[in-house]
Amino acid sequence: MQEPTFLILTALAGAPMHGYGVIQEVAELSGGRVKLRPGTLYGALDRLAEQGLVTVSREEIVDGRLRRYYELTRDGVSHLDAEASRLADNAQAARSRLRRLATP
């Protein structure tokens, strides 16, 4: 899973969000390293919806514009949990090897 996808799913794990909220949350989660453009985000959300990982939870009109709120599905939660575990295992393996390098 690519980092932006992981961060989008992570952002949505907190609560349903509209696109701009996801963009802001991803930037915060990544410490500003990942800055999603709207076209990139909505393409990713469409792909994630096709995969059954996110769904539109509600829509509303704000200032004459449609605002969609996205949320994780059960499959989305499972995929995010599996990816978080995989990343944690990889990080643990890397730290273990780095400790061996530091020990003469």
Amino acid at residue number 6: F
pLDDT higher than threshold 90 for residue 101: no
Number of domains in the chain: 1
* Whole-number Å distance between alpha carbons of 69 and 21: 9
Domain boundaries, position 90: 3-102
Within a 10 A sphere around the Cβ of 41, how many other Cβ atoms? 18
The enclosing domain of 79 has a CATH number of 1.10.10.10
* Cβ atoms 36, 42 nearer than 8 A: no
Q: Which residue has the higher pLDDT, 104 or 61?
A: 61
> How high is the pLDDT of residue 91?
96
Distance, CA of 83 to chain centre? 11
Q: pLDDT tens for residues 37-92? A: 999 999 999 999 999 999 999 999 989 988 999 999 999 999 999 999 999 999 99
Q: pLDDT tens for residues 60-73? A: 998 998 899 999 99
> How high is the pLDDT of residue 103?
76
* Cβ atoms 18, 57 nearer than 8 A: no
* Over residues 1-7, mean pLDDT: 96
Residue-wise burial string across 62-74, b where 16 or more C-beta atoms lie within 10 A, e elsewhere: eeeeeeebbbbbe
Angle at which helix 38-50 crosses helix 3-14, to 10 degrees, equals 80
